[in-house]
């Protein structure tokens, strides 16, 4: 994207770290990950070597504090990783985002054994993780989940169904949200345990990711893999989900930027009545307007990361940004397709893929309606019944 | 009188579709090109694809537009595959479902071909239905339409995301060319606008059904204000676009043939329908992204309707010209 905006001091103290690692990651993505995308999109099989590549190069340790064996860099650096991956495709990114979310849960709330067993190997790309929240009848309504965890000796047994679970067929470990006798708990489940089955779903979007429907039939979870108090996990789950939303925003903004770039590149090479399309106001006007949207979204994302890294939950800011960034990414991609004619819908192009993938962003990690409910609650408004 | 006949025609087509397409929602594998050809052949034999043409029932472009919308509402690829036949029949080719290919006025389609003196030569790209046709109805960006014979096909053509049961191919034209057969570019735009509206109507039906059935927070999501607002606004977008398309098609039949009106109808229909379908997909939540749910197909298809033409600013130029705005000259 053309840099038309004057340079200003970055808000985040982590910006320098993120920037210094960006070129290395871009090279890795372009040389080793992007070439895997076409086959992954066609087969809907996520190339698990992505985790190994990222782990070996240290990009799965980025963002985590040194005390956890990480490289530092805060959420700003994680956003950088997600955005560089998103340049290769939203599908690839979808299967990596759960890593950052589960890492929050394991290191903030997990036992020392769980950190050793799962947390640290994760950062080397040796374990693949996912988070199990949505169910067939409980998507937006997280509180109505039916998956249950019941005590069994020192551990727990989990039974139930989960829906739209990323990495279900490839994960070694899943963070499962389940009801207990007196609340909701988080459980770090080993997928090699008996009773675990995952079925891959056939999707319209983010096809390179592994999206599944999961059944738990009394799957055993030992005590050291319970993440925090097993009856007080709802707030932890919401914190984890809020962390995922920042990364969803980052992905949406990157897809919008890529769509915008593609439209500008197309308009630079195409002519109308003998003039480059980009030399006409019909193209310049909508593209310039979209540039303003992208700038504001970047500022919002930077601010949300800064707040998170300072320890602020930033619930309102992240909810606002989630609604706005996913909506704008759909609009900007729609604009790019409209401007580029048949080239914008040609199978296999980034723009055609983005058109599918941006719409996914409006429903993952909480739909725009859920973001509105959160904002209404944060604003102290009465609970809306209908 | 014609309106009554057209309404009867649309109702009869609806009955054929209900019979022919029963079970396709649960048997996705059956939604293929063989089924598509079978349904269109049936419709052709019953005379429904020639209802609008002068050599057929003579009911006009409005009848064809209604038919295209009705087909698209059930299955977008049906309308898309029928498009060349509807246009060919308007040129006196009233043969039912004829194996005709269609080259759109999109500049990329014509980048390797030339139209001179009624003869078209070279390679046309993104040609619809070229696999089963020996001739192509080529609608050029300048507005002239030419029926040309196909000399050969490229082995691997370009494909697009949407109308996945149809074939878009590259064809090379026979060196002896063909005769100019008429001005069709605006008729193509009106029919495509109607297809966009039909897709929106189908998507809204799916969205409404989902909102009635999906329960969250203890109630069908259709009780919640935000979902009700989304449906109400999508329906408004659809109805306003369909009303414009119908008006332009009727004016066309009455002899008031306006390229600007056709361009405007296409602009509004594609924009309104795209937004309406996007919102219906959103109503479906995560299930809207699953291949087994039909809504995703409507979304992919509607983007294609708008793509096969001059760019958006070019269509806007046609409308602006009609208002008498001056063109830039250095």
Given the structure tokens 């030339």, which residue do they identify?
A: B114
Q: How many domains does chain A have?
A: 3
- Cα–Cα distances (Å) from A61 to A41, A72, A77, A94, in that order, read 27, 8, 10, 18
CB A234 within 8 A of CB A183: yes
What local confidence, expressed as pLDDT, does residue A97 receive? 96
A114 located within any domain: yes
The pair of structure tokens assigned to A208 is 């390179």
The pair of structure tokens assigned to A258 is 């890529």
> Which ranges of chain A have pLDDT less than 70?
1-8
Share of chain A above pLDDT 90, in %: 85
pLDDT tens-digit readout, A39-82 = 999 999 999 999 999 999 999 999 888 888 888 888 999 999 99
* Residues β-bridged to residue A176: A132, A187
| Whether residues A164 and A216 fall in one domain | yes
Give the nearest partner residue to A341 out of B106, B225, B289, using CB atoms: B106
CA nearest A273 in B: which residue? B314
Going by C-beta distance under 8 Å and a sequence separation of 6 or more, which residues neighbour residue A171?
A128, A129, A130, A191
Kind of pairing between the strands at B168-173 and B119-128:
antiparallel
Domain of A349, CATH number, reads 1.20.140.10
Strands (E), B117-273: 119-128, 135-139, 144-153, 168-173, 180-183, 215-216, 219-220
| Higher-pLDDT residue of A266, B152 | A266
Which of A2-11, B185-194, B294-303 has the lowest average pLDDT?
Answer: A2-11
Contact B288 A202 (CB under 8 A): no
CB B203 within 8 A of CB B281: yes
Q: Residue B233 pLDDT more than 70? A: yes
Q: How many CB pairs under 8 A join A and B?
A: 130
| Whether residues A99 and A141 fall in one domain | no
What local confidence, expressed as pLDDT, does residue B179 receive? 65
Cβ neighbour number for residue A39 with a 10 Å cutoff: 11
- Cα–Cα distances (Å) from A256 to A37, A76, A83, A274, B25, in that order, read 19, 19, 11, 29, 33
What local confidence, expressed as pLDDT, does residue A249 receive? 98
**CA gap A251, A259 in Å, rounded:** 12
Contact with chain A for residue B317, Cβ under 8 A? yes
Which of A196-200, B175-179, B188-192 has the lowest average pLDDT?
Answer: B175-179
What local confidence, expressed as pLDDT, does residue B178 receive? 65
Residues of B in contact with A204 (CB under 8 A): 288-291, 296, 299-300
| Whether residues A108 and A161 fall in one domain | no
| Higher-pLDDT residue of A324, B148 | A324
Q: Residue B94 pLDDT more than 60? A: no
What local confidence, expressed as pLDDT, does residue B245 receive? 98
Pick from A44, A38, A64: which is nearest to A119 by CA?
Answer: A64
Determine the average pLDDT of the residues in B71-81. 96
CA distance to partner chain A, nearest, from residue B179 (Å): 26
Contact B106 A362 (CB under 8 A): no
CA distance to partner chain B, nearest, from residue A43 (Å): 14
Domain of A162, CATH number, reads 2.40.110.10
Going by C-beta distance under 8 Å and a sequence separation of 6 or more, which residues neighbour residue A280?
A272, B313
Determine the average pLDDT of the residues in B156-176. 81
What local confidence, expressed as pLDDT, does residue B144 receive? 82
| Whether residues A249 and A225 fall in one domain | no
Q: Residue B142 pLDDT more than 70? A: yes
Between 2.40.110, 2.60.120, 3.40.50, 1.10.3470, what CATH number should domain B99-181 receive? 2.40.110
Residue at a domain's end among A101, A128, A155: A128
Contact A340 B311 (CB under 8 A): yes
Asked if CATH classification 1.20.140.10 holds for the domain at B184-322, the reply, yes or no, is yes
Structure confidence at residue B153 as a pLDDT band (50, 70, 90): confident
CA nearest B221 in A: which residue? A386
Residue at a domain's end among A128, A148, A174: A128
pLDDT tens-digit readout, A178-197 = 999 999 999 999 999 999 99
CB A286 within 8 A of CB A27: no
| Whether residues A73 and A142 fall in one domain | no
- Cα–Cα distances (Å) from B10 to B5, B61, B71, B200, in that order, read 9, 14, 10, 17
Give the nearest partner residue to A345 out of B162, B282, B289, using CB atoms: B162
Kind of pairing between the strands at A173-180 and A183-190:
antiparallel
| Whether residues A110 and A141 fall in one domain | no
What's the whole-number average pLDDT of chain B?
A: 90
| Whether residues A255 and A336 fall in one domain | yes
**CA gap A146, A158 in Å, rounded:** 11
Give the nearest partner residue to B278 out of A359, A364, A369, using CB atoms: A359
Residues of B in contact with A282 (CB under 8 A): 311-314, 316-317
**Structural domain harbouring A282:** 235-378
| Whether residues A246 and A161 fall in one domain | no
| Whether residues A80 and A201 fall in one domain | no
| Whether residues A178 and A77 fall in one domain | no
CB A125 within 8 A of CB A76: no
Going by C-beta distance under 8 Å and a sequence separation of 6 or more, which residues neighbour residue B10?
B66, B67, B70
Residues of B in contact with A339 (CB under 8 A): 311-313
| Higher-pLDDT residue of B159, A32 | A32
pLDDT tens-digit readout, B1-52 = 589 999 999 999 999 999 999 888 777 788 898 999 999 999 999 989 988 8
A385 located within any domain: no
């Amino acid at each position: 994207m053309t840099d038309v905006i004057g340079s200003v001091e970055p808000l985040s103290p982590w910006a320098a770290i993120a920037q210094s690692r960006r070129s290395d990651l871009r090279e890795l993505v372009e040389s080793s990950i992007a070439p895997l995308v076409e086959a992954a999109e066609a087969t809907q099989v996520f190339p698990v070597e992505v985790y190994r590549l990222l782990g070996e190069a240290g990009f799965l340790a980025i963002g985590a504090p040194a005390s956890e064996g990480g490289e530092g860099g805060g959420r700003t650096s994680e956003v950088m990783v997600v955005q560089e991956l998103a340049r290769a495709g939203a599908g690839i990114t979808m299967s990596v985002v759960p890593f950052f979310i589960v890492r929050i849960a394991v290191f903030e709330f997990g036992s020392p054994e769980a950190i050793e067993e799962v947390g640290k190997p994760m950062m080397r790309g040796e374990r693949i993780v996912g988070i199990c929240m949505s169910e067939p009848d409980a998507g937006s309504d997280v509180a109505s989940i039916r998956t249950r965890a019941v005590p069994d000796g020192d551990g727990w047994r989990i039974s139930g169904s989960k829906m739209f679970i990323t990495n279900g067929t490839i994960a070694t470990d899943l963070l499962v949200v389940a009801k207990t006798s007196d609340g909701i708990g988080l459980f770090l489940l080993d997928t090699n345990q008996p009773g675990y089955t995952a079925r891959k779903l056939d999707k319209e979007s983010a096809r390179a990711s592994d999206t599944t429907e999961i059944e738990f039939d009394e799957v055993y979870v030992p005590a050291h893999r319970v993440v925090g108090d097993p009856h007080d996990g709802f707030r932890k789950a919401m914190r984890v989900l809020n962390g995922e939303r920042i990364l969803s925003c980052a992905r949406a903004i990157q897809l919008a930027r890529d769509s915008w770039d593609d439209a500008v590149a197309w308009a630079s090479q195409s002519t109308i009545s003998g003039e480059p399309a980009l030399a006409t106001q019909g193209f310049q006007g909508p593209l310039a307007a979209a540039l303003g949207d992208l700038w504001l979204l970047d500022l919002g994302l930077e601010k949300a990361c800064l707040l998170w890294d300072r320890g602020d939950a930033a619930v309102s800011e992240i909810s606002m940004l989630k609604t706005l960034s996913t909506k704008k990414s759909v609009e900007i991609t729609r604009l790019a397709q409209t401007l580029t004619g048949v080239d914008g819908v040609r199978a296999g192009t980034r723009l055609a893929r983005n058109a599918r993938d941006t719409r996914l962003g409006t429903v993952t990690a909480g739909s725009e309606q859920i973001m509105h409910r959160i904002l209404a609650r944060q604003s102290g408004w009465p609970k809306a019944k209908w | 009188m014609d309106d009554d006949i057209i309404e009867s025609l649309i109702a009869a087509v609806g009955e054929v579709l209900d019979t022919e397409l029963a079970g396709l929602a649960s048997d996705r594998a059956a939604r293929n090109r063989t089924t598509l050809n079978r349904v269109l052949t049936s419709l052709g034999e019953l005379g429904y694809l020639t209802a609008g043409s002068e050599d057929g029932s003579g009911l006009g472009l409005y009848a064809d537009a209604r038919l295209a919308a009705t087909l698209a509402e059930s299955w977008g690829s049906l309308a898309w595959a029928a498009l060349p036949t509807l246009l060919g029949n308007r040129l006196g080719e009233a043969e039912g479902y004829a194996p005709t290919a269609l080259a759109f006025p999109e500049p990329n389609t014509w980048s390797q071909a030339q139209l001179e003196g009624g003869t078209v030569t070279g390679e046309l790209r993104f040609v619809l239905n070229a696999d089963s046709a020996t001739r192509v109805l080529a609608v050029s960006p300048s507005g002239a339409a030419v029926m040309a014979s196909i000399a050969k096909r490229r082995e691997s053509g370009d494909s697009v995301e949407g109308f996945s049961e149809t074939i878009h191919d590259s064809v090379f034209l026979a060196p002896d060319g063909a005769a100019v057969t008429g001005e069709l570019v605006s008729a193509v735009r009106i029919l495509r606008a109607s297809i966009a509206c039909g897709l929106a109507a189908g998507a809204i039906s799916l969205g409404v059904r989902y909102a009635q059935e999906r329960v969250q927070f203890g109630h069908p999501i259709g009780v919640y204000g935000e979902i009700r607002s989304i449906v109400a606004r999508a329906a408004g977008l659809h109805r306003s676009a369909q009303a414009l398309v119908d008006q332009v098609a009727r004016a066309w039949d009455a002899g008031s043939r306006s390229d600007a009106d056709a361009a405007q109808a296409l602009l509004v229909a594609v924009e309104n329908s795209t937004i309406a379908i996007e919102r219906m997909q959103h109503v479906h939540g995560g299930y809207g992204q699953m291949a087994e749910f039909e809504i995703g197909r409507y979304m992919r298809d509607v983007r294609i309707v708008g793509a096969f033409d001059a760019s958006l600013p070019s269509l806007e130029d046609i409308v602006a010209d009609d208002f008498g705005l001056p063109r830039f000259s250095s």
